Chains A and B, each alone.
Chain A
């Protein structure tokens, strides 16, 4: 850090001390739990991620608004939050009532200043481009519902995603939810871990799967005489049975156009993948497994291919095939791991890789395989980690981990290796990350 003026020297020296204490250890940490609060990118990785300072917000709801925006941007993992306030040094005066001290913020590593102000209809965001020393954007966002309600929080998540897009060019994933199974029920939690709810009284169910428009969830309902594929409409809460063939009907997946649901079905001669219109009707067979098990389909984003788990080679492996069932090929290589057990593929939204779980030393770990060169990357190593599901940014994965002794959902940033715990109550498993939901 180079200091030019003596006037700033004292201030920045104390700032540096504060920064040292506030530096968390997860800059490049692999698979470690994140710390709460904000991060400072002053002395390392400068320029890798743009630094962002979010100004304090006045008004009764100001602290909540700022905390939600800070957390959303932090969880997006694309910017470094500059937040010295918590270390005892106020940056707010440097904002200078509309004319911020851009030079100081530049030295602090800030590329952008986000200044929210509460307006009668919602919140106004002023985004300063620190390098260009000017206001880059000003926009009013409506806030729905009463403060701290789910609708209110959802509209703030939409603000976060817009801000992240302004700064990084890539829309955030704050306006998303994760569907999962807890106690036999489909449950929902916001991307930041807040506002858990039960989506449907139907129980026991497995394998929730989002429709591409984020308005429906398909699932498998277990009964004493067999299982069924059902779809719940999140708007009305109504559910209906789509498939009730004899025996097993499990692991539904929507096609990217939302028109088709592919699922696994079988009774006496193994389980195969079948396709049915998302509005119901006759089913069409997709795989010919000849008595083996073929489950857990996941579409490529263009809808032309399907990744799935098959036991056709004698043990579970991940295969990919054309969506009509032809051209199946083994995706996961045999050459690593001490157990032949790989399953639960999820095709990334950018189409470039497939996440899956692989048994290593008797425990499942989260892996990704590149579709370009078939290189495999292991992302977890602590305890058992399974059932990965991509966020719509193609960068974060939600998965089930037993590392606390109870199955809970965790979120992994596949680029930095940063991990955070998403759910904390009871057991949670079989997570499915929603598409971007907007300010619903």
Chain B
């Protein structure tokens, strides 16, 4: 439709007059709000319920944590016991120069191994004899074997089956300490104990 500019102006004026009249009317009062106690109670109940649920969830998590902590503590205790048991089994013994006799310290260390070996019949160990760097390279191989054998002999004499203990000698080939002073030499004159089977779970006997 084609509207001429004049006609458009007239219609605009008419609309303006009507609008001016409406603005002069008195405004109506705002409605007073009505208090609905039921609705408040319901809302409170809802919030309480959420809080209780949260608490319950927190309590549950705490219980879960406590349970986990307790398991971890128990596991840690067991790990420590196992580690102690392993350390007892693998504690090395030391020798005098060119000797393979066991000292009282050595015997105490071997005595501590016996109940663990008895409580774990699947456990097999290897005793490795070592020497310091003095002496002949070749004779030291034999001396290391004699040191391994003397530790093994003590254990078998105290009831450990011979089949559960291997022996090997490394002579002076694998020193524990590199120095040539007496303290280093003394650390090298040793028999080491290695668990070669049945060491994943070690039963620690009562009183250990």
B138 touches A226 (CB 8 A): no
A386 touches B136 (CB 8 A): yes
Interface residues as binary, B123-164 with A (CB distance below 8 Å gives 1, 0 otherwise): 000100000001111110111011001001100000000100
Q: Which residues of B contact A399 (CB under 8 A)?
A: none
Given the known interface contacts A250-B138, A343-B136, the answer about A269 and B168 at a Cβ–Cβ threshold of 8 Å is: no
| Complex: A226 Cα to B137 Cα, angstroms | 16
| Minimal beta-carbon separation of B133 from chain A (angstroms) | 10
B149 touches A267 (CB 8 A): yes
- For chain B, the bracket of interface size reads 20 to 34
Give the nearest-CB partner of B149 in chain A.
A268
A264 touches B173 (CB 8 A): no
| Complex: A357 Cα to B138 Cα, angstroms | 12
B146 touches A293 (CB 8 A): yes
- Name the contact of A248 in the complex, choosing from B137, B145, B152 (C-beta under 8 A): B145
B145 touches A343 (CB 8 A): no
Does A270 touch B at the CB level, under 8 Å? yes
Does B166 touch A at the CB level, under 8 Å? yes
| Complex: A269 Cα to B134 Cα, angstroms | 23
| Minimal beta-carbon separation of B86 from chain A (angstroms) | 19
| Complex: A206 Cα to B136 Cα, angstroms | 12
| Complex: A363 Cα to B146 Cα, angstroms | 23
Give the nearest-CB partner of A293 in chain B.
B142
| Minimal beta-carbon separation of A168 from chain B (angstroms) | 35
Does B98 touch A at the CB level, under 8 Å? yes
Interface residues as binary, A413-438 with B (CB distance below 8 Å gives 1, 0 otherwise): 00000000000000001100000000
Q: 8 Å CB contacts to B: which residues of A230-269?
A: 247-248, 250-251, 264, 266-269
Q: Which residues of B contact A429 (CB under 8 A)?
A: 137
A247 touches B141 (CB 8 A): no
- Name the contact of A267 in the complex, choosing from B135, B138, B145, B173 (C-beta under 8 A): B145
A247 touches B168 (CB 8 A): yes
Does B167 touch A at the CB level, under 8 Å? yes
Q: Which residues of B contact A220 (CB under 8 A)?
A: 141
- Name the contact of B168 in the complex, choosing from A224, A294, A309, A316 (C-beta under 8 A): A224
Q: 8 Å CB contacts to B: which residues of A28-58?
A: none
B137 touches A387 (CB 8 A): yes
B145 touches A296 (CB 8 A): no
B145 touches A271 (CB 8 A): yes
B173 touches A344 (CB 8 A): no
Q: Which residues of B contact A387 (CB under 8 A)?
A: 136-138
Q: Which residues of A contact B135 (CB under 8 A)?
A: 316, 341, 343
A250 touches B141 (CB 8 A): yes
Q: Which residues of A contact B141 (CB under 8 A)?
A: 206, 220, 227, 248, 250-251, 295
Does B187 touch A at the CB level, under 8 Å? no
B149 touches A309 (CB 8 A): no
| Minimal beta-carbon separation of A337 from chain B (angstroms) | 14
User: What is the predominant secondary structure among interface residues of chain A facing chain B?
Assistant: strand
B139 touches A266 (CB 8 A): no
Give the nearest-CB partner of B136 in chain A.
A343
B142 touches A248 (CB 8 A): yes
Does A222 touch B at the CB level, under 8 Å? yes
Interface residues as binary, A341-363 with B (CB distance below 8 Å gives 1, 0 otherwise): 10110000000000001000010
Given the known interface contacts A225-B168, A248-B169, the answer about A271 and B142 at a Cβ–Cβ threshold of 8 Å is: yes
Q: Which residues of B contact A251 (CB under 8 A)?
A: 138, 141
Q: 8 Å CB contacts to A: which residues of B90-148?
A: 98, 126, 134-139, 141-143, 145-146
| Complex: A244 Cα to B162 Cα, angstroms | 19
Q: Which residues of B contact A207 (CB under 8 A)?
A: 138
- Name the contact of A295 in the complex, choosing from B134, B139, B149, B152 (C-beta under 8 A): B139
Q: Which residues of B contact A430 (CB under 8 A)?
A: 137-138
Does A204 touch B at the CB level, under 8 Å? yes
Q: Which residues of A contact B173 (CB under 8 A)?
A: 204, 206, 222
- Name the contact of B126 in the complex, choosing from A225, A248, A271, A315 (C-beta under 8 A): A225
Does A172 touch B at the CB level, under 8 Å? no
Does A76 touch B at the CB level, under 8 Å? no
Give the nearest-CB partner of B152 in chain A.
A268
| Minimal beta-carbon separation of B154 from chain A (angstroms) | 12
Q: Which residues of B contact A226 (CB under 8 A)?
A: 166, 168
Does A311 touch B at the CB level, under 8 Å? yes
Q: Which residues of A contact B168 (CB under 8 A)?
A: 223-227, 247-248
| Minimal beta-carbon separation of A431 from chain B (angstroms) | 12
A247 touches B136 (CB 8 A): no
Interface residues as binary, A206-232 with B (CB distance below 8 Å gives 1, 0 otherwise): 110000000000001011111100000
| Complex: A224 Cα to B135 Cα, angstroms | 22
Give the nearest-CB partner of A249 in chain B.
B141
A206 touches B167 (CB 8 A): no
B139 touches A343 (CB 8 A): yes
* A-B pairs with beta carbons under 8 Å apart, 23 shown: A206-B138, A206-B141, A206-B173, A207-B138, A222-B170, A226-B166, A226-B168, A251-B141, A264-B138, A266-B149, A267-B149, A268-B152, A268-B153, A269-B149, A270-B149, A293-B146, A295-B139, A309-B138, A309-B139, A316-B136, A341-B98, A343-B135, A387-B136
B residues in contact (CB < 8 Å) with A = 98, 126, 134-139, 141-143, 145-146, 149, 152-153, 162, 166-171, 173
A residues in contact (CB < 8 Å) with B = 204, 206-207, 220, 222-227, 247-248, 250-251, 264, 266-271, 293-296, 309, 311, 315-316, 341, 343-344, 357, 362, 364, 386-387, 429-430
Beyond contacts A206-B141, A295-B141: 14 other A-B pairs, Cβ-Cβ < 8 A, are A225-B126, A225-B166, A227-B141, A227-B168, A248-B142, A267-B167, A268-B153, A268-B162, A269-B149, A296-B136, A311-B139, A316-B136, A341-B98, A343-B138
Closest 3 pairs between A and B when the two form their complex, measured CB to CB: A293-B142, A343-B136, A271-B142
